[in-house]
Structure 1
Amino acid sequence: MNHDNSKKPSGKPPYNRSGSQDSLDELSLDDYWKEIENIHEASNSNREQEVVVKEPDEGELEEEWLKEAGLSNLFGEAAGDSQESMVVLATLTRTQSAAVQKRVETVTQTMRKKNKQYQVPDVRDIFKQQNDSEQKATDGVKTAENKTETQEETEEDPACNHHIGDSSLRHAVPASDSDINVEISFSEQAATLSDNPAGKVARDKDDDTLTPDFRLPKNKTGTTKIGDLAPQDMKKVRSLALIELTAIFDIFGAEVKPQKTIKIKTKESGLFGVPLTVLLEQDQKRMPGTRIPLFFQKLISYIEEGKLDTEGLLRIPGVAARVKSLCQELEAKFYEGTFNWEHVKQHDAASLLKLFIRELPQPLLTVEYLKAFQNVQKLPTKKHQLQALNLLVLLLPEGNRDTLKALLEFLQRVIDHRDKNKMTLKNVAMVMAPNLFMFHGLGSKSTEQSEFVMAAGTANIMLFLIKYQNLLWTIPTFLVNQVRKQNAESQRKEKKDKAVKKLLKKMAYDREKHEKQDKNISDIKNVNDADVPQGVIRVQAPHLSKVSMAIQLTEELKASDVVARFLSQKSGTVQVVKKDEVFLYEIGGNIGERCLDDNTYMKDLYLLNPNAEWVIKSKNC
C-alpha cells in the first residue's frame, strides 16, 4: 500500500462506496489520515533499503501456490511420485478441486510454452470421480434442514468412509445469519448461494450494523482452536486453508496470489527493523519456549501497568524526538536489563509499539498474504469476509500469528477502557490499520479514490481482526474432518503397500518368528485393552495418581467430566493437579493429536474416531 500523498482526500468522494465501507464515512476516517501523517513524520529516514516484491509470471505464481498447497508432486521431476498429492486430491470438495484444477492447467500451459517436458498428471479424472460425491456437499447445504437420514453407510473403520469430510452435512445449517457454519466448506456454501436465481451473492446493504454478533454454533465433537492439533496435522490444515481460501476468492472474482520478496540484507540483532524470526531466535536463546518477542511483550505490559485509561491512547502520538531517543537507548540497553522504564510516558510507549510493528522488514501479516488480507474487502458480505480472515490467520507462520494474537488481545483490553480513554473499537481500528497494512514494497501509484477505498477497507479488516479474534483462532470443523480423511486415506494406502510387500517377501521371512512377534504384540494390546466392553473407553493419565480408568460412554458424557473423574481421585504421593493444568487428548486413529475442549461429547467423538487413544496430560507434555 503506497501513501505518497499522505494528506486526507478533500471533499466528498465522487463515487459510490462499496459494501466494505458501509458505515465508514469520510469524517470517521479522520483518525486514519492523521495516523498516516504521524507515520510519515516519525518515519525512519535511516532505513537503507526497503523490501521489494518480486513479480513472477503467472505460471510461477501458480507453481508456488501448488507447492504451498502440498501438491508440488503434481508436476516437475517428482511427478511420478505423487501418492501424497493424490491423497490430498481425493479428499477435496467440489469447489476446492476446481481451484486446484485451475492452477494445474495454468502451470501445464506455462510449461508447454517454455518447452519443458515435465510430467503433469491429468487430475481431471480424479475430480470427475469426486463430482458425484462432492455434489452431495452442494445439495447438503441446500437441504440440510430437511436431512435426517444419512447414516445408512457403515464400514469397518468409519475414518475411511468417503463421507467423513462431508459428515457435517447431516447437521442443520445455522439458524440465523449471525451463525458461522464451520461444518460445511465455506466455499461450498458460497458456491451454493451464488447459484441463486439472481446469479450472484447480494452485497451487504448499507446500514448501521457494522459488526454483527457472529457466533459459532456448538459442535458435539468439540471446537478446535489453533494450538490444539499436532504439528503434522496443522501442516495439513494450512495447505487445505490455502486451497479453501483460493476457492472462495475464485467464486467472487478476487485474487489470492502469494507474493514473494527479493532477499535483502537485514539486521541480525537488535529490536527495531529486525526480522520477526531473528527476534524470536535470539529471544529463545535467552528464554526457551518464547513465542512472542520479549521486547513486544514488555511494551504491552508496560503500557498496561501505566493504566489503559489514558485518553487518546494509541491515537495521540508521542513526541517524535523523544521516541527516536528512546529507540536508540532501548537498542543499547534492553537486553542488558539496564533500560529505565520509569520515565517512559504512555503515549511514547504506544508510539514505540506501533513503530516496532511498522519497522519489521516484512509486515506482520507477511508479504505473501498482505494483499490477500487487503482483498478480503472485495468479498460481498461480512460473513464471507470473516470466513476468509479465518483462513488467512491459519496461513500465517506461527511467530506472526502468535504476535498478532498478542497485539489483538492488547487492543481489545484498550477498547475495554473506552469510557475513560475514549478509544472505541472503530477508533482503534482506524489508528492501527495503517500500521499493519501500509507496506511500500507492495505499493503501486494510487489515486485519491483508491486511497479512500483502501483506507475504509483496511480499517474494516482491522476492526474484524479485533472484534472476532476468538472466532478467527478457531480451526473450522470441516478442515479438521478433511485432515481426518487424509490421515485415513494415507493409512489405508500404507496398509495396502505393507500387505503387498509382505506378500512379495513372505518366503524370506522366518514364519515361526514372525508369528511369535505377532503374538507378543497381540498380548501387549490385550493387556492395555483387557476386557474393555463395547461402549467403554480406557483413558490413560500417566502423570496423575490414577493412571488408567475405564469409562462408560453416555450421550451426555463430556471431556470435562472425564478429567473431573480423574482429578477427584485421592492423590497420594503425586502432586495435586488443577483442572486448568491438564486436558483430555484424542491421539491416533484418524488424527495425530488433538486437545479436546471441555464441551466435547465423548460418544460422538468416539464414533468419529473409534481407534483413538484417550490421554489426560498438560499441554507441555
Structure 2
Amino acid sequence: MLSSPPATSSSPVQPSHTVTSDPRHVTMETYWTEVQSIEEEKEGEEEEDEEDERKSMDEVELEEAWLTEAGLFSLVMGSAEDTDPLPAGALLSTLTRQQVATVKRRLDNYNETLRKRNRQPIRDVRDVFAQVRHWDVPWVCVSVGYFAPVSPSQGLTCVDDLSSCDLIQLSFISHIELSTFLLALGIQTKRTRPPRRRTRDGGVFGIPLDSLLENDRKKFPGAKVPVVFQKLLTVLEQTGLQTEGILRVPGSAARLKHLRRELDRCGWGLDWSTVRPVEAAGLLKLFIRELPIPLLTHTHLSTYRCVLGISAVVHQVQALQLLSLLLPEAHRDVLGALLVFLRKVVSHQDQNRMSLWNVSMVMAPNLFAWRQRGNKRSVAKQREEMEEAVGGAHLIRLMIIHQDLLWTVPNFLLSQVRQMNQASNQKQSGLSRTRRLPKSNETETKKLCEGVIRVHAPLHTKVSMAIQLDDQMKARDVTARFESENR
C-alpha cells in the first residue's frame, strides 16, 4: 500500500471531509470524486479475470527475477557465457564495491534457499567474483551525491540519446544501483506476482502499449506513443487547458462508454470535433487505467510505493530517476508525454483552477490502481485510504516537477555503461584473436602500424587506402590522395 509522504500526518476521516496532512491544507474531495467516477464507469461491466489478492513471490522466484533483471541470468540459468549477448563477467567487472555487495547478498540468499529445499545451488558466490575486478568508486559519489539541479547547457545525457544496446546495459546497472541505493537508506522492497488479466485481440483500450505501437507504426513509422493517446493529448491541449476543472470534472459515464466503443471500432479516425474536453480527459484517464500492464509496470509499482519510506525528498527524486530509467521504452515514452501535458495543465491554473496538487490528486487513483474495499470501512481502513491518496499524489507531484531529470542518465551510470562496453569488446577481441586470419589479412594487418589509418572511399577509383597521419595533415590532404589516384 502507498503510505503518506514523510513529515506529514493524517487522521482517519470520511472521504468527503477535508484533510490537513499536507502543509497546504488541500482538500481530499478531488481524490474521492475521481475514485467515485472510476467506480461509476465500472458499473454494469463484466469483471476482469483478475486475482483480488496478489500473492507474494517466494524467495527463489524473487531472487531469480532480480538476477535476471540485473542481466545476470547466466548465473541462474547456467548458460555458457560465450553465448550470452552480454557476458556476466563484463557486467560484474564494472560494478562498484557497494553494487558487488548487493549482488553477493542476492546470490547468497538464492543459494541458501536452494539448499534448504535440497536443490543443487549455483556456483559459489566466491567463485563468481574470484576473477572479477570491480570498479572502485566512492559510495558518496555513487548513490547519495549525484543529484543536483543542473541546466541543459552542462552537456547532460538523456536516455533517448543512447542506443538500444546501451539502454539494455543501462537497465542492468540501474536495477542493481536502485537496490543498492534503497538498501543503503534502509528501505526494504517487496514484490508480488502480476495479476492475471483477460487479454483483448483488438481495439484501443486494454491493449498492451507495444501491440498498439506495432500496429500504429504500419501507418506512422517512428511513432513513439500510441496514436490515439497522442490525439487525446492534442485535443486537450488545443481545447482543454483553459477549461475549468479539466481532469477533475467527470464526463457522462454513458457518453464515455459510447466514445470508448467508437474508439475501439475506428481508432484515431473518430470524429474528434464531437468530443468535449472533459470527455477527452475521461478517455485519457480510462486509457491509462485499462492498460493490461500498468504504465509504471507490475514489476516496479511496489517499488514506487516503497519510495515514500525515504525521509529526504532529494533521495526520493533520486529513486524516481532510477525507476524511470528502468521502465520499458514504450512505457517511458507514454509517461514522458503524460507528464509534459500535466505540466501544461498546471501552467494554466489561473484559467482551469487546477493546481499542481489538484492535478496530482486526480491522477493518483489512475496511475496507482484503486481497489474498492466495501462500504463499511474501519478507522484503520480509512486511514490507509488517506495515506494511499496522499502518498500517490506526492509521487506524481515529484514526477511532474522533476520530469526533465527523470530522463537524464547520471554520469556515474553512463561511465559504467562505457566500462561494460569496453570489457565486452575486449572479450570479443580476445575471441577473435584465437581464430587465424586469412593470409592476405595477416600481411595487411602487419603493414598497419601506429599512426596509420585505413580510409574507405567507395565513390573513387581507389576505394581503400592506408594513410600515415601526422600533426599537419588535414582532411583535404586525404581527399587529394584519392583524387590523385583517380587521375
How far is the alpha carbon of 1:264 from its aligned partner? 4.1
Q: What is the aligned residue count?
A: 450
Is 1:394 aligned to 2:338, yes or no?
Answer: no
Q: Give runs of aligned pairs for residues 40-439 of structure 1, distance below 5 A.
A: 40-43=39-42, 45-52=44-51, 53=54, 55-78=56-79, 84-123=87-126, 126=129, 134=136, 137-138=138-139, 141=140, 184-186=141-143, 189=145, 215-216=149-150, 222-261=155-194, 263-335=196-268, 337=269, 339-439=270-370
How far is the alpha carbon of 1:268 from its aligned partner? 1.5
How far is the alpha carbon of 1:10 from its aligned partner? 5.5
Runs in 1 of length 4+ with deviation above 4 angstroms?
Answer: 9-13, 79-83, 127-131, 217-220, 519-524, 528-538
1:463 corresponds in structure 2 to 397
How far is the alpha carbon of 1:315 from its aligned partner? 0.9
Q: Given residue 94 of structure 2, which amino acid in structure 1 is its aligned partner?
A: T
CA distance in 2, matches of 1:69, 1:364: 21
User: Using a 3 Å threshold, how does the CA distance of structure 1 residues 348 and 468 change in structure 2: closer, same or farther?
Assistant: same
How far is the alpha carbon of 1:227 from its aligned partner? 1.1
How far is the alpha carbon of 1:277 from its aligned partner? 2.2
User: Using a 3 Å threshold, how does the CA distance of structure 1 residues 129 and 267 change in structure 2: closer, same or farther?
Assistant: closer
CA distance in 1, matches of 2:421, 2:446: 27
1:518 corresponds in structure 2 to 445
Residues 250 and 278, structure 2, Cα contact 8 Å, conserved in 1:
yes
How far is the alpha carbon of 1:417 from its aligned partner? 1.0
How far is the alpha carbon of 1:451 from its aligned partner? 1.7
Q: Given residue 390 of structure 1, which amino acid in structure 2 is its aligned partner?
A: Q
How far is the alpha carbon of 1:120 from its aligned partner? 2.0
Correspondent of 1:481 among 411, 415, 439: 415
- Normalising by structure 1, we get a TM-score of 0.65
* Mean Cα deviation higher: 89-98 or 294-303: 89-98
CA distance in 2, matches of 1:93, 1:43: 49
How far is the alpha carbon of 1:448 from its aligned partner? 2.1
Q: In the TM superposition, what whole-angstrom CA distance separates every residue of 1:229-252 from its partner, at most 9, and x where no partner exists?
A: 111111000111111111111122
- Normalising by structure 2, we get a TM-score of 0.82
Q: In the TM superposition, what whole-angstrom CA distance separates every residue of 1:129-181 from its partner, at most 9, and x where no partner exists?
A: 868x63x514xx4xxxxxxxxxxxxxxxxxxxxxxxxxxxxxxxxxxxxxxxx
Residues 6 and 36, structure 1, Cα contact 8 Å, conserved in 2:
no
SS of alignment partner, residue 87 of structure 2: helix
2:34 corresponds in structure 1 to 35
Residues 257 and 372, structure 1, Cα contact 8 Å, conserved in 2:
yes
1:600 corresponds in structure 2 to none
How far is the alpha carbon of 1:11 from its aligned partner? 7.9
User: Using a 3 Å threshold, how does the CA distance of structure 1 residues 11 and 435 change in structure 2: closer, same or farther?
Assistant: closer
CA distance in 1, matches of 2:105, 2:337: 37
CA distance in 2, matches of 1:537, 1:56: 62
CA distance in 2, matches of 1:6, 1:51: 30
CA distance in 1, matches of 2:248, 2:332: 24
User: Unaligned stretches of 5+ in structure 2?
Assistant: 3-11, 373-377, 457-465, 480-487
Q: In the TM superposition, what whole-angstrom CA distance separates every residue of 1:510-546 from its partner, at most 9, and x where no partner exists?
A: 6x534334258779824379465569997xxxxxxx9
CA distance in 1, matches of 2:45, 2:347: 37
User: Using a 3 Å threshold, how does the CA distance of structure 1 residues 527 and 12 change in structure 2: closer, same or farther?
Assistant: closer
User: Using a 3 Å threshold, how does the CA distance of structure 1 residues 493 and 395 change in structure 2: closer, same or farther?
Assistant: same
CA distance in 2, matches of 1:317, 1:110: 50
Residues 240 and 278, structure 2, Cα contact 8 Å, conserved in 1:
no
Q: In the TM superposition, what whole-angstrom CA distance separates every residue of 1:14-55 from its partner, at most 9, and x where no partner exists?
A: xxx6xxxx5364x43332222212221222642432444453
Q: Given residue 289 of structure 1, which amino acid in structure 2 is its aligned partner?
A: G
Residues 75 and 121, structure 1, Cα contact 8 Å, conserved in 2:
no
User: Using a 3 Å threshold, how does the CA distance of structure 1 residues 516 and 277 change in structure 2: closer, same or farther?
Assistant: same
Is 1:527 aligned to 2:455, yes or no?
Answer: yes
User: Unaligned stretches of 5+ in structure 1?
Assistant: 142-183, 191-212, 539-545, 550-621
Q: In the TM superposition, what whole-angstrom CA distance separates every residue of 1:572-608 from its partner, at most 9, and x where no partner exists?
A: xxxxxxxxxxxxxxxxxxxxxxxxxxxxxxxxxxxxx
How far is the alpha carbon of 1:458 from its aligned partner? 1.0
- RMSD of aligned residue pairs (Cα, Å): 3.5
How far is the alpha carbon of 1:214 from its aligned partner? 6.0
SS of alignment partner, residue 244 of structure 1: helix
SS of alignment partner, residue 285 of structure 1: coil
1:596 corresponds in structure 2 to none
SS of alignment partner, residue 527 of structure 1: strand
User: Using a 3 Å threshold, how does the CA distance of structure 1 residues 273 and 293 change in structure 2: closer, same or farther?
Assistant: same
User: Using a 3 Å threshold, how does the CA distance of structure 1 residues 465 and 256 change in structure 2: closer, same or farther?
Assistant: same
Q: Given residue 23 of structure 2, which amino acid in structure 1 is its aligned partner?
A: S
CA distance in 2, matches of 1:269, 1:32: 32
User: Using a 3 Å threshold, how does the CA distance of structure 1 residues 264 and 344 change in structure 2: closer, same or farther?
Assistant: closer
CA distance in 1, matches of 2:265, 2:132: 63
How far is the alpha carbon of 1:257 from its aligned partner? 4.3
How far is the alpha carbon of 1:498 from its aligned partner? 3.7
